[in-house]
Amino acid sequence: MAKQRYFLELSYDGTNYHGWQRQPNVVSVQEVIEQALKKVLKQPIALIGCGRTDAGVHARAYIAHIDVIDPLAADFRAKLNFTLPEAISIQRIWPVVRGLHAQFSALERTYRYNVHTSKNPFQARFSTYLPVPLTELDWDAMQRDAQLLLEHTEYRGCCKVPDRHDSTICRVTAAKFIRTADDAFYFSITANRFLRGMVRLLTAQLLDIGQGREALEDFAQRLERAERPKRFVYAAAQGLSLDRVRYPEL
């Protein structure tokens, strides 16, 4: 009997999870949702996600899919949310054509990295504290260098484990810094795909440029040559969230 595929849009606070993907001996977001699905549907259900997120990284609009034989009940989302911990929420569920795949059908993904420059315990869980006044950052340099990302497709030098990828080619279609307050801003980046650690590594480099720790010429040359930076440092996980995933039929 043919199964019906459903897409799930969900949000999660990744603070206490070891990323999205199920792994032995640690708690992942995927595992927790699959356990909840099993309780609600009374059978094991495989949940396929749109991609990985690292430990401590969040998601505002993560997309996953499930395949079921019987149509989901009208109160299914409410029951699933009741079963899930507070840190995970299913925003909506809808049927899609069988060929649409949460991971492989995605056209582009957008990540957002939040930064605050005044120490604030109410922001610390979902934003990274940068103890430098926003007025002292070279905002124009960060914006200019972010635009360089649109000119390149080879990102081997911006990947934690490039040899684990079949390809290190990524097409970045948007990258910019946006101020939200006198002491807060975020970096938004959109691409067809991202490599392991790519967004956090690029964010750390751009913030270094804004603080005068690195020159534009050095950053541009590394991008051109697909070289790894000498200072291989990642921006902290808590500032990063998957913001949006776009599909051809959604």
- Where would I find the beta strands (DSSP E) of the chain? 4-12, 48-49, 58-68, 88-96, 108-116, 128-129, 172-181, 184-191, 240-246
Q: Which residue has the tokens 């007025």?
A: 135
Query: Contact 101/65 with Cβ under 8 angstroms?
Result: yes
Out of 54, 145, 208, 243, the active site residue is: 54
Amino acid at 108: E
Q: Which residues contact 144 (CB under 8 A, 6 or more apart)?
A: 216
β-bridge partners, 245 = 109
How far, in Å, CA of 205 to CA of 148, rounded? 13
By CB atoms closer than 10 A (0-12, 13-18, 19+), residue 6 is middle
Local structure of residue 193 (DSSP, 8 states): -
Is residue 75 annotated as part of the catalytic site, yes or no?
Answer: no
Q: In the chain, which ranges are continuous DSSP H helix?
A: 29-41, 76-83, 139-148, 198-210, 216-225
* Positions marked catalytic: 54
